[in-house]
Structure 1
Amino acid sequence: MTPESHSPTGTDDPTLGPPPGCPAHGLGPGGLHRLYGPEAEDLGAVYEKLRAEHGAVAPALLHEDVPIWVVLGHGENMHMLRTPSQYTRDTRLWTALQDGTVKPDHPLMPIVAWQPICCHAEGDEHLRLRGAVTGAMSTIDHRGIRRHINRATQHLVNKFCEEGRADLVAQFAEHLPMAMMCEILGMPEEYNDRLVHAARDMLKGTETAIASNAYLMDVLMRLTTRRRAEPKEDFTSHLINHPARLDDQEIGQHLRVVLIVAYESTANLLANVLRVVLTDPGFRARLNGGQMTVPQAVEQSLWDEPPFSTILPYVAKQETELGGQRIRKGDGLILGMAPGNVDPRVRPDLEANMQGNRSHLAFSGGPHECPGQDIGRAIADVGVDALLTRLPDIQLDCEEYELRWRASISNRHLVELPVKFAPRPQQDVRQRPSINPVPPQRPNDWLVSTQQPQPMAPEPVIPAGEPTPAPEPARRPGVFRRLLRWWRGD
């Protein structure tokens, strides 16, 4: 991508940059802000500088000073998402990849490299692949999944409830999504610490990331082979048997995308919601007082700190204009979920309550909108509710300023969330948690009556030899009693 010269000198010659000591020193070629390295430790602040300098769409630099446009405006992001005729996820059209600016060993290559999956496809191929994924998603029993989420939460809490202390990131937020995704995909027996570690390691981009990815793909390809031979009522079997007829490689790659994206986004969402509950007394008071439900708290978190802060790249299919900037064919653009969610044109007051408003960018939008967002919401809703019900006195076990994050251009991941609470005994994982258990009701307890039961009158004694008096004619029951009999099926 070559945006129109961003250098005040009319050239991008780095030798013409500012001298040491100048406020602009440390910027990239053309005085552009870098989205990596020490200069970008607080990307939120960088995005606000870019907004102030350039408006809703700003030029910036990726790793190794690859030029990119950052879409900061909420409306501009939505336009890009909803206009597939102008913008695509097919990275093969990105000029920076075509001309070698993005080299094969570029640090972001695992993210930006094209793959034969629905996320990078368009047109008929996108409809075929996306249709298979959404078709398999539609078979998920959401009520049953919520029961599994509750049971998995109880199982995880049982592991630390007697200690009185825990790290809700390592012992809860990073495990609950993986346990649920293994259940949904049809491989609950594969859920273990190694699978969780491999997913986290692959996303960190460490030296062992390639080996972790290979392990995950081996697990998923073995699952694909098993379900080809013995289909069951799970996501993988429905994906295999979808009329789109995906081959084994397509099945494995889409299982990987669903597993990793759902895992990472939901782990971040859980950690973010729990952190706010533990550090914001007003937020927790509204939650405890009934002014806010857990689903509303989750939605507020999706506005304030989306699980993925950006997605890259989108590519311009033709020369166009966005946010007052001239975008050339082949230019790359970043979908700015986090900066778009705090666009002052849609959120002039960031402290304002966003309850009931789902117009955030946390799950993207348009043809590539996240198909599993309701599953992610369910895991966060049920998981947070069950945890807080089980441990109502839970508190942060450190100062808020001591919390640490691991940040990247894609997201901001809370490293740990230490908590303390009164130790509690383990609970039967088959029971739904309840602070005040409800006693079993009798069949007709739902009938409300103010009358007290009266003792039955004794049967009249009839002297021998006297005729039995004729019974009094039965009185027809009133309308209300007849309605009750009809309702009860008498």
Structure 2
Amino acid sequence: MTDDRTPPASGSGGCPVAHGEGTTRLYGPGAATDPHAIYARLRGEHGAVAPVLLEGDVPAWLVLGYRENRRVLDNPLQFSRDSRSWRDLLDGRVEATSPLMQMVGWRPDCVSQDGEPHRRLRGAVTDNLYAVAGRGIRRHVTHFANKQIDAFADAGRADLVADFAEYLPMLVLTRVFGLAEREGRSLAESCNQVIKGGADALTHNERIMGLLGELAARKREEPGSDFTSGLIEHHSGLDEDEIVNHLRLVLITAHTTTSNLLARALQLVLTETAWLSGLVSGQLNMSAVVEEVMWNSPPLAVLPGRFATADLELGGCPVKEGDLLVLGLAAGNHDPGIRPDTGVSVQGNASHLAFSAGPHECPGQNIGQAIIETAVDVLLHRLPGLRLAVPPDDLTSTASTWESRLDSLPVEFAR
């Protein structure tokens, strides 16, 4: 596949080569085990911006540099979130049924738009997230965390991914949204499949949209003190499509990022004894742990997507109008230009890219932080002598284009 939009590179570390034969794929078996090695190789070959292929061999630019990521995120006039300007889509090179469309395609939600439409829709989301945060999030987390722990506490061992982190955030979200608790596990699995991509992504997305459409209809008839009712009643006057799509947006992003981050935070405290002893002694708090994880293992490794609004240069690369750029949050956090020694702790430095930046910065980060802090606190109090049941080097992760998830976290504890 040849793409004549971009001239060949002048050499290593300069302008990237054209998308074509040999371009690195960010999906499939080759990318599933060690994405950081791929980012490092691309950085060495191309510099701060590299040509890559997404699922379906769709061309994109992966932004690897910290400063370049910030430029894209902070400048919506140059790098729009509106995929209706995506040239490969307009030219018919991307099918409407492509799994990429679940992550990149336009929807009537705040992350798909810029300017005043974005401000109107984001205001409805943020107002209701702030309201939800004041209505007992920590109480909900404590309830469901204890319920999860009750299921394995007598066994003396557990997998803290499958038995705890994988579903806990979604169980909390069922209470926040006004959903039935019984929907929690299947919704978590569907959200994970949408992020993962592949042939089943569309089916799982349709299931999520169906459930949320039913929820919105029910809450119009029977409103309550929940996030769904708040969106319906907000003074911004969201229509039906906007309401359901914002429910989808918050459900998928809040669950997948928080479950991933919770698993990584638990991995850190169980593999680095200084972190665990600091938490138990009270010398450290969970916010310091979460901050460290945000730098080293952000819950979304790659953020979709931005679209160039004009021909421009980024990181020495000539980006053309309508090109898709995806943001390498993990790569940017490890950029040697701003972080030459990744072995040094970043405590007290919150300038990571994990929550994005600019107008589209994640508005729900405080809620995610509350879920993680409360969940870990409950876990440490309930399970005395909690320790890793395997050598740290035995822990594995599996990556998709957008994230890298811990496969399992086997632990033992006193019964």
- Scaled by the length of structure 1, the TM-score of the pair is 0.78
Mapped pair 1:40 → 2:31: yes
Alpha-carbon contact 1:3-1:59 (below 8 Å) kept:
no
Deviations 1:238-291 (Å, cap 9, x if unpaired)? 111111111222211110110111000000001111112122223323333444
Mapped pair 1:332 → 2:334: no
- RMSD of equivalent CA atoms: 2.3
Mapped pair 1:399 → 2:391: yes
* Alignment correspondent of 2:347: 355
Deviations 1:299-348 (Å, cap 9, x if unpaired)? 11111100000112211101222222222211111111100111112211
Worse overlay, 100-109 or 54-63 = 100-109
Worse overlay, 167-176 or 275-284 = 275-284
Alpha-carbon contact 2:99-2:198 (below 8 Å) kept:
no
Equivalent of residue 380 in structure 1, options 363, 369, 372: 372
* Alignment correspondent of 1:301: 293
Shift of 1:77: 0.7
Mapped pair 1:51 → 2:43: yes
* Alignment correspondent of 2:145: 153
Q: How far, CA to CA, are the matches of 2:376 and 2:70 in structure 1?
A: 30
Mapped pair 1:139 → 2:122: no
Alpha-carbon contact 2:87-2:323 (below 8 Å) kept:
yes
Where does the alignment leave 5 or more consecutive residues of structure 2 unmatched?
A: 12-16
Shift of 1:102: 2.4
Q: Secondary structure at the match of 1:119?
A: helix
Alpha-carbon contact 1:7-1:29 (below 8 Å) kept:
no
Shift of 1:105: 4.5
Q: How far, CA to CA, are the matches of 1:208 and 1:170 in structure 2?
A: 21
Change beyond 3 A, Cα 1:79–1:205: closer
Deviations 1:80-138 (Å, cap 9, x if unpaired)? 11111101111111112122232344442322222121111122221221111112112
Change beyond 3 A, Cα 1:29–1:287: same
Q: How far, CA to CA, are the matches of 2:384 and 2:66 in structure 1?
A: 37
Instruction: Map 1:177-326 onto structure 2 (within 5 A).
Output: 177-205=169-197, 208-326=200-318
Shift of 1:30: 5.2
Change beyond 3 A, Cα 1:332–1:192: closer
Shift of 1:208: 4.6
* Alignment correspondent of 1:6: 8
Q: How far, CA to CA, are the matches of 1:421 and 1:79 in structure 2?
A: 47
The structure showing larger relative contact order (alpha-carbon pairs under 8 Å, at least 6 residues apart) is 2
Shift of 1:235: 1.1
Q: Secondary structure at the match of 1:296?
A: helix
Q: Secondary structure at the match of 1:231?
A: coil
Q: How far, CA to CA, are the matches of 1:370 and 1:233 in structure 2?
A: 23
Q: Secondary structure at the match of 1:130?
A: helix
Letter in 2 for 1:350: T
Deviations 1:431-474 (Å, cap 9, x if unpaired)? xxxxxxxxxxxxxxxxxxxxxxxxxxxxxxxxxxxxxxxxxxxx
Change beyond 3 A, Cα 1:135–1:5: same
Q: How far, CA to CA, are the matches of 1:277 and 1:299 in structure 2?
A: 13
Q: Secondary structure at the match of 1:272?
A: helix
Worse overlay, 276-285 or 341-350 = 276-285
Alpha-carbon contact 2:48-2:315 (below 8 Å) kept:
yes
Change beyond 3 A, Cα 1:81–1:205: closer
How many pairs are equivalent? 407
Alpha-carbon contact 2:300-2:404 (below 8 Å) kept:
yes
- Scaled by the length of structure 2, the TM-score of the pair is 0.91
Q: Secondary structure at the match of 1:114?
A: coil
Alpha-carbon contact 2:174-2:180 (below 8 Å) kept:
yes
Letter in 1 for 2:338: V
Q: How far, CA to CA, are the matches of 2:98 and 2:241 in structure 1?
A: 25
Between the two proteins, what is the percent identity of the paired residues?
45
Letter in 2 for 1:288: V
Change beyond 3 A, Cα 1:404–1:187: same
Q: How far, CA to CA, are the matches of 2:162 and 2:215 in structure 1?
A: 26
Letter in 1 for 2:169: P
Q: How far, CA to CA, are the matches of 1:87 and 1:192 in structure 2?
A: 36
Shift of 1:35: 2.0
Change beyond 3 A, Cα 1:401–1:217: same
Shift of 1:364: 0.6
Change beyond 3 A, Cα 1:250–1:28: closer
Equivalent of residue 389 in structure 1, options 358, 381, 388: 381
Shift of 1:369: 0.8
Q: Secondary structure at the match of 2:112?
A: coil
Alpha-carbon contact 2:19-2:51 (below 8 Å) kept:
no
Q: Secondary structure at the match of 1:318?
A: coil
Deviations 1:140-170 (Å, cap 9, x if unpaired)? 2437211221222112111111111111111
Change beyond 3 A, Cα 1:63–1:151: closer
* Alignment correspondent of 1:128: 120
* Alignment correspondent of 2:14: none
Shift of 1:177: 0.2
Letter in 2 for 1:339: A
Q: How far, CA to CA, are the matches of 2:104 and 2:181 in structure 1?
A: 32
Mapped pair 1:103 → 2:95: yes
Shift of 1:188: 4.6
Q: How far, CA to CA, are the matches of 2:256 and 2:203 in structure 1?
A: 18
Deviations 1:159-199 (Å, cap 9, x if unpaired)? 11111111111111012101111111122545443333333
Shift of 1:397: 1.9
Instruction: Map 1:411-450 onto structure 2 (within 5 A).
Output: 411-423=403-415
Deviations 1:193-250 (Å, cap 9, x if unpaired)? 3333333344444655444333322221222112112222111111111111112222
Where does the alignment leave 5 or more consecutive residues of structure 1 unmatched?
A: 10-16, 18-26, 424-490
Q: Decide which structure has the larger Cα Rg and report it.
A: 1
Letter in 2 for 1:5: P
Equivalent of residue 338 in structure 2, options 346, 349, 354: 346
Change beyond 3 A, Cα 1:340–1:252: same
